[in-house]
């Protein structure tokens, strides 16, 4: 069965892809209140550029004859508008998701990753099922309910790492700065941004599956590399526009900050690994065209991505959520795991 081939690829792809969450979190570490937007903009721009390396190398290693045949195929060319549109919407999600990390309380970023990817898991699978007429199993409806309830409860979960009346301490290099917003409001803003990011990201799996639709057996690899490259270039549109229209003083201040440049090294490494994961995740969809299991593969990829991404962040930043936050996060994760039972 094709799903038996696609599922392991989806798991490995999701594992590498999960470094994306950590990379974005690293880039906005300690963002001052007046630099959150520009730090998120610069981070996602640099991150997005590094994710292009894996598909670019893959294309350069491709048989030129097969590449020309794929790029010149009218059927594949007809898919380009959909791939580009999906990439552009996903790019909006990437910016919003990175901004959510900038606004999240110091011990709540792993939960932000869970919410972003939980929403993406449900919306991505729902879009694929709706577009391709797939009939989701009952487990998917249960999963969507669990994820939604967990996210709603997280909105009211208390912050464990700071009193509600105090601001969050953030830093940019050696100087310290206090945010004007109390932790509870920061959490709500971060969660709202995370939900919006997840909804935009949900278009991504549909765009990737759409881009490899009908790939011939001998051209699965080439069409995967070509479609993913176009998709990733499209995700850069919003970051580039955001960077161009950003305040030049804040942009120069951020890009010239030695501490931020050091953080970007970690973001770039994570972007490279995430780009490889995205390529594998797209390749997994080439095995689902005739098996009516695209939504299941999307759930598996995003499930692994969510669990691994949140664990990476929690381990690197030694985050310890409150009891209620932990229960809500586990409810979302359980929903994602249930979704793979379909």
Q: Are 195 and 154 in contact (CB under 8 A)?
A: no
Mean pLDDT of 233-259: 87
What pLDDT is stored for residue 172 in this prediction? 39
Query: Per residue in 260-269, pLDDT tens?
Result: 999 999 999 9
What pLDDT is stored for residue 86 in this prediction? 93
| Average pLDDT for the chain | 80
Say yes or no to pLDDT of 259 above 50.
yes
Say yes or no to pLDDT of 167 above 60.
no
Among 22-31, 162-171, 249-258, which is the least confidently predicted range? 162-171
**What pTM does this model have?**
0.75
What pLDDT is stored for residue 173 in this prediction? 41
Query: Per residue in 27-67, pLDDT tens?
Result: 998 888 778 888 988 998 898 889 888 888 888 888 888 88
Say yes or no to pLDDT of 174 above 50.
no
Highest mean pLDDT among 11-20, 278-287, 331-340: 11-20
Q: In the chain, what are the domain boundaries?
A: 2-339
Does residue 246 or residue 214 have the better pLDDT? 246
Instruction: Kindly indicate the confidence band of residue 161, based on its pLDDT and cuts at 50, 70 and 90.
Output: very low
What pLDDT is stored for residue 144 in this prediction? 73
Among 71-80, 191-200, 210-219, 259-268, which is the least confidently predicted range? 210-219
What pLDDT is stored for residue 81 in this prediction? 94
Mean pLDDT of 121-135: 81
């Amino acid at each position: 069965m094709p799903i038996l081939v696609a599922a392991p690829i989806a798991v490995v792809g999701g594992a590498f892809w999960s470094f994306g969450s950590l990379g974005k979190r690293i880039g906005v570490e300690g963002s001052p209140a007046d630099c959150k937007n520009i730090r998120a903009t610069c981070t996602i721009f640099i991150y997005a550029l590094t994710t292009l390396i894996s598909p670019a190398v893959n294309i350069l290693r491709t048989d030129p004859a097969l590449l020309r045949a794929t790029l010149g195929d009218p059927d594949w060319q007809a898919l380009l508008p959909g791939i580009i549109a999906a990439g552009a919407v996903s790019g909006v999600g990437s910016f919003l998701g990175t901004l959510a990390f900038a606004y999240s309380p110091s011990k709540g970023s792993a939960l932000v990753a869970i919410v972003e990817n939980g929403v993406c898991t449900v919306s991505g699978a729902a879009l694929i099922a709706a577009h391709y007429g797939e009939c989701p199993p009952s487990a998917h409806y249960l999963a969507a309910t669990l994820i939604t309830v967990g996210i709603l409860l997280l909105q009211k979960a208390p912050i464990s790492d700071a009193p509600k009346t105090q601001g969050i301490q953030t830093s940019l290099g050696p100087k310290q700065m206090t945010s004007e917003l109390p932790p509870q409001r920061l959490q709500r803003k971060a969660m709202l941004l995370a939900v919006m990011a997840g909804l935009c990201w949900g278009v991504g799996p549909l765009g990737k599956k759409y881009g490899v639709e009908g790939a011939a057996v001998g051209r699965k690899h080439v069409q995967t590399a070509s479609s993913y490259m176009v998709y990733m270039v499209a995700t850069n549109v919003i970051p580039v526009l955001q960077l161009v229209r950003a305040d030049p003083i804040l942009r120069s201040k951020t890009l010239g900050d030695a501490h931020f440049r050091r953080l970007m090294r970690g973001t770039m490494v994570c972007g490279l690994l995430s780009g490889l994961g995205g390529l594998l995740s797209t390749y997994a969809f080439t095995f689902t065209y005739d098996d009516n299991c695209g939504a299941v593969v999307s759930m598996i990829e995003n499930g692994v991505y969510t669990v691994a991404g949140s664990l990476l962040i929690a381990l690197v930043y030694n985050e310890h959520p409150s009891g209620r936050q932990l229960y809500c996060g586990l409810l979302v994760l359980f929903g994602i795991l249930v979704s793979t039972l379909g």
